[in-house]
Amino acid sequence: MANKNQPSGAAQGRAGAKAARREAARAELRRVQAQQRRTRLLWTGVVVAVVVVIFGAVALFGINHNGGSGAKTTAAGTKLEQTMGSIPAATYNSRNVVLPSNPPKSLQGATPLTEKGKPRVLYVGAEYCPYCAAERWAVVSALSRFGTFQNLGRTTSSHVDVYPDTPTLSFHGSTYTSKYIAFKGYETQSNQVQGNSYAPLDQLSTGDGVVFDKYDFPPYVESKGAIPFIDFGGSYASQGASYNPQLFSGKTQQQVADQIVDPSTDISKSVIGTANVFTAAICQLTHDQPSNVCKSPGVTAAASSLPH
């Protein structure tokens, strides 16, 4: 006999249907809430990405157009040129010099680089380049032992690159006179921003472009197309900086030159050590002329760093 307090089958069916509808409604609510969360996250990501792009563009614009250019190149002036051209023999012969860890490498089998019967040194760099900025001091020091520079520039490396505003000299527009060797220095770009790069300066001649493309390339040097690149008469090649550009931070060009003259300074020890190695490489091209330079103690000691 049926219990009067027990729900009928129809009532049970209605209750079950109602419970099912409630569960379906809850499931739909959970689905909608999950979708809303995903949408909020998606838009948050979009907003963040847009903000990043905007700030990145602003930063790039600021670098390239508002703060990227360094000080414009000016004339080095007589005092600076004279200081670099009259470094005492005692400085070059100091026992405290630091020889470079990456001396010039041999260009075995290369065609001799000459001009009007004289061995020729080729330099390729750019004014914005901090490693070029550092290396020029040694290049000028070494070459000044064989001849005379005129109209050197006074400049700094890029304002926004590593080692910003490294004080240096520039070969753009300069001349070099020597009875022993010929020299050509190219500064392919300035330190002045133009568009998304630096303004072009010197264009390599066809012949020098061939030399640069052929020998500024492994296995002759470490990296393809890196600067500064120096070819010593087709016998040796140097690439990159021989010492840390940080040495020159916060100094003027004249202060750097004055410290090069003083053999007790860290700048002198590094610059003169590299200049002696460069001098030894050039002396092999000039058959040890002038003898007072090529037979000096500093150059004789540095010659051991060159590959034979």
The string of pLDDT tens digits covering residues 195-239 is 999 999 999 999 999 999 999 988 888 889 999 999 999 999 999
Tell me the pLDDT tens digit for each residue of 38-75.
Answer: 444 444 443 334 333 333 433 333 333 345 687 899 99
Query: What is the per-residue pLDDT for 114?
Result: 97
Same domain, 207 and 61: no
Local structure of residue 65 (DSSP, 8 states):
I
Same domain, 13 and 33: yes
Q: Give the confidence band of 36 by pLDDT, cuts at 50, 70, 90.
A: very low
Same domain, 162 and 268: yes
* Mean pLDDT taken over the chain: 85
Tell me the whole-structure pTM to 2 decimals: 0.78
Same domain, 110 and 31: no
**How far, in Å, CA of 232 to CA of 282, rounded?**
7
Same domain, 93 and 204: yes
> Residue 153, Cα to own-chain centre: how many angstroms?
19
Same domain, 60 and 82: no
Percent pLDDT > 90 in the chain is 72
Same domain, 298 and 198: yes
Same domain, 249 and 161: yes
What is the residue range of 149's domain? 74-305
What's the structural domain count of the chain? 2
**Which residues sit opposite 150 in a β-bridge?**
175
